[in-house]
Structure 1
Amino acid sequence: MTRTDIASRTIAAPVARVWAALVDPVALTVWLPPEGMSGRFDRYDASPGGSYRLVLTYADASAAPGKTTADSDVVEARFVDVVPGDRVVQAVDFVSDDPAQAGTMTMTWQVTAVEPGTRVVFRADDVPPGISAADHADGMNSSLAQLAAYLEA
């Protein structure tokens, strides 16, 4: 059984600024890691067919153990579709020995102009069963809140 998780938020910024934050690795390291985590890219190529390796590190691993190591989640992803000003689609895998974390999750970030800014929809399809629905929703909403803070400051 597959699972889809969706989060969305309206951000008071034009589509062009939001889009730029979705594909800029420097911006992504600021807003993408959920609260309580930091991130760094080992590599990053946002072109269709390009890929990235993102290391997310927990500030306090005792509260939430990592999927890859005791204090980190490593994400291997490739860009399936990149439509400037519209959407980014990624095939994402967590590096983990836990079979409950296995499987490729499709993550889609879609942007649409609305009043008073941009509607951002974050959709995750085929979420691995080892990822708690509640924790995933919290993480997705945390990232969107940080994206808003980053762009609305």
Structure 2
Amino acid sequence: MARTDRVGRVIAAPPEVVYGALLNREALEAWLPPEGMRGRIERWDPRPGGGFRMVLTYLDPSGSPGKTSDATDVVDIGFADLVPNERVVQRAVFEADDPSFAGTMTMTWHLAAAGDGTEVTVTAADVPPGIDQAAHETGIASSLASLASYVEAAG
């Protein structure tokens, strides 16, 4: 059965600043990897129909075996929809031999003005069953916290 995970938070930056950080290669490399990981973008094409390939490396792989190798998760992200300052829809496919990580997960980053900031809600639909829900939601929350730190420090 398809699963949907959802995490949100308010970020003290306007929607246009948050949206910009969702479509900037250097910004994504800085804030997208969850705590305990680092990321490197190998391919970059920020337009609808384009996308990117990110290699996420565990800083300590002993407790978190990767999906692609013992120390890495490699994910191909396609941009399905880009609505400036409102929404980024991504289609994510992990490179993995384990069929429990197969399939395309849709990640929707919804931005809504909230006072002087932005309420960011991330909805992950069709999450592969091999991805633990609690760990996934914790990872998304970690990325959102890093996004907040990144854009709030820039503003």
Sort the TM-score into its range (normalised by shorter chain): over 0.9
The secondary structure found in structure 1 opposite 2:49 is coil
Alignment deviations for residues 101-137 of structure 1 (CA, whole Å, 9 cap, x no partner):
0010000111111113101011100000000001001
With the length of structure 2 as denominator, give the TM-score of the two structures: 0.97
Q: Report SS of the residue matched to 1:60.
A: coil
| DSSP-derived class of the 1:42 partner | strand
Alignment of 1:100-139 (within 5 A): 100-139=100-139
Which AA in structure 1 matches 2:37?
M
After superposition, what is the alpha-carbon deviation per residue over 1:69-127, rounded to whole angstroms, capped at 9, x for unaligned?
A: 11000001211101111111111100000000001000011111111310101110000
Q: What corresponds to 1:91 in structure 2?
A: 91
Which residue of structure 2 lines up, in the alignment, with residue 66 of structure 1? 66
* SS, match of residue 146 in structure 2: helix
Q: Offset at 1:44?
A: 1.1
Percent identity among equivalent residues? 56
3-state DSSP of counterpart to 1:33: coil
Query: How is 1:1-153 mapped onto 2 (pairs within 5 angstroms)?
Result: 1-153=1-153
Report the 3-state secondary structure (helix = DSSP H, G, I; strand = E; otherwise coil) of the residue aligned with 2:128: coil
Query: 2:113 is matched by which residue type in structure 1?
Result: A
Task: Tell me which stretches of 4 or more aligned residues in structure 1 moved more than 6 Å.
Answer: none
What is the aligned-residue RMSD (CA, Å)?
0.7
Question: Which structure 1 segments of 5+ residues have no match?
Answer: none
Deviation at 1:48, TM superposition (A): 0.5
Question: What is the Cα deviation at residue 52 of structure 1?
Answer: 1.0
Q: Deviations over 1:8-50 (max 9, x none)?
A: 0100111111110011010011110000000011001120000
Whole-Å separation in 1 of the counterparts to 2:90 and 2:114: 24
Normalised to the residue count of structure 1, the TM-score between the two structures is: 0.98
- Give the CA deviation at 1:55: 0.3
User: Structure 2 CA distance, aligned partners of 1:79 and 1:115?
Assistant: 28
Q: Number of matched residues?
A: 153
**Rounded Cα–Cα distance in structure 1 between residues aligned with 2:103 and 2:80:** 16
